[in-house]
Amino acid sequence: MNTPPRNAKSTKHGADGVADPRVHDSNGSDGPARKPASAASAWGGAVLYLLVVGLLIGGVPYAAGPLLGAVLLLAVTPLVALLRRRPLVALTLTLLAGVLVAGASRDHSPGRFLVFMASDLALGFIVATRSRRDALIATAMVVAIELPAVGLLTLGPYDMMSTGLIASLSLGAVYMTGLRFRERREHTVELRSKEVSEAVTVERLRIARELHDMVAHSVGVIAIQAGVGSRVIETQPAEARAALQAIEATSRETLSGLRRTLVALRQAQPDGHHGQAPLGPAPGLAGLGGLVATTAAAGVRVDVRREGEERQLPPDIDLSAYRIVQEALTNVVRHAGTGHCRVTIGYGEEELTVEVVDGGRGTPDGIGSTGFGITGMRERVSLLHGRFTAGPGPTGGFRVEAVLPLPLPVSAAAAVAEGEGEAR
């Protein structure tokens, strides 16, 4: 078996044993070795830019001003890397190049001041992408160097006035354009942060509902069974043993559900397979039998009725219907003070109806005041654009009803689409 050398650098792993994609070896293409290469490229571009400036000063002094400005503007291309790393240094180079080329040019027309387009472009980039401090420093540099240079290189007061006005207006336009891009970028970042915050809040509420629905029912059953066991442990050992067995089964089921939830929360990479427990299917109405058995063990007999043609439901509706029944039965066990309740599942063509009715003492204490059960059920139904009612029943007791809209079956949807096509 081959063993790695002692001086080999190990790859950093996360908590689940999966290699962290953010950590790279120093010999890789994305490691720290790229920083010196990037710096060398940036400064190499600066040297190339200065070489072009030298050629313009010494090689083509009689070239027209617009041509000199276009060449300097194109020469900014190798300076982009330095502009990203050291924007103020790059701006200084463009200002220096503009002053030297404009001073050495034999073309005395106002067109020679187009050589400052490169520095104006650099100013706009800094205002749009860098901090406000850098933007203010860059603006002060341009105003302190470019405008006096334009004034000193003009031939007369009229030329100085017109050229200075054009230079000032161009600087103002560049600054406002950069500021506009900056505000748009900041607004986009702010909107994205709000979207992330809202998504996190929604996910927290969903997790809170899942944990509440999962734990509240089980803990309520455990508390009742523990009370029964403590009262009959000396007089009826068999009954106490049955209560303890019910507590054990309920606890194991709850721990299994919590484990699945925690594994899903800690799962960093959905496609990874290291250190992850298999996730079981989400509960649905098919699991009502276990829920009924647990409730019966707590002393409440549940009569389940199904109306309509039973069929496969979408996962979100199936899970929500199960959680609504679970929470309603929890409230019956904890608050109703009765030994019987009825659960009705109605499969309609367009709606699924879930109804839980008990013959207890009406509005349970704690429901709707300090508890989250009714609120959680109402939120679940609201997310699915359904209808929810909870309150005293017409003949006493308490009644919970949720109506969840169902998508059209494939055959019905095809018929509707065919009818629309014929109508057209």
- CA dist 71 and 67 (Å) reads 6
Question: How high is the pLDDT of residue 387?
Answer: 93
- CA dist 158 and 180 (Å) reads 33
Find all residues with CB under 8 Å of 373, minimum gap 6, and list them.
212, 216, 327, 330, 331, 367
Task: Give the pLDDT band (50/70/90) at residue 356.
Answer: very high
> Per DSSP, what are the bridge partners of residue 154?
none
| CA-wise closest residue to 41 among 88, 86, 71, 72 | 86
User: What is the CB neighbour count within 10 angstroms for residue 6?
Assistant: 5
Strand, helix or coil at 100?
Answer: helix
> Per DSSP, what are the bridge partners of residue 388?
402
Check residues 130 and 197 and name the one with the higher pLDDT: 130
Average pLDDT rounded to a whole number, residues 344-370: 78
**Which tokens is 372 given?**
């989250």
**Above 70 in pLDDT, residue 385?**
yes
pLDDT tens-place string over residues 220-256: 777 777 887 788 887 888 888 887 887 877 777 777 6
Task: Give the pLDDT band (50/70/90) at residue 165.
Answer: confident
- CA dist 43 and 2 (Å) reads 44
pLDDT tens-place string over residues 39-60: 787 788 778 877 877 777 776 6
**Which tokens is 284 given?**
């649905």
- Residues 339/374, Cβ–Cβ less than 8 Å: no
**Above 60 in pLDDT, residue 411?**
no
Average pLDDT rounded to a whole number, residues 253-262: 68
**Above 80 in pLDDT, residue 119?**
yes
- What one-letter code names the amino acid at 224? I
Task: Give the pLDDT band (50/70/90) at residue 106.
Answer: low
- Residues 321/282, Cβ–Cβ less than 8 Å: no
- CA dist 180 and 128 (Å) reads 7
Question: How high is the pLDDT of residue 16?
Answer: 39
Check residues 319 and 362 and name the one with the higher pLDDT: 319
Question: How high is the pLDDT of residue 17?
Answer: 40
> Per DSSP, what are the bridge partners of residue 351?
405
Question: For residue 357, which phi and psi values (nearest 5 degrees)?
Answer: -125, 135
Pairing state of beta strands 387-392 and 398-405?
antiparallel
User: What is the CB neighbour count within 10 angstroms for residue 313?
Assistant: 20
- Residues 9/26, Cβ–Cβ less than 8 Å: yes
Question: How high is the pLDDT of residue 14?
Answer: 40
pLDDT tens-place string over residues 283-321: 889 888 888 988 888 888 999 999 998 888 888 888 889
pLDDT tens-place string over residues 189-215: 888 888 877 777 776 777 777 677 667
Task: Give the pLDDT band (50/70/90) at residue 62.
Answer: low
**Above 60 in pLDDT, residue 180?**
yes
Residue 62 has what DSSP assignment?
T
Average pLDDT rounded to a whole number, residues 325-342: 87
User: What is the CB neighbour count within 10 angstroms for residue 104?
Assistant: 15
Strand, helix or coil at 303?
Answer: strand
Check residues 52 and 347 and name the one with the higher pLDDT: 347
Question: How high is the pLDDT of residue 274?
Answer: 45
Average pLDDT rounded to a whole number, residues 140-164: 77
Find all residues with CB under 8 Å of 155, minimum gap 6, and list them.
108
- CA dist 361 and 363 (Å) reads 7
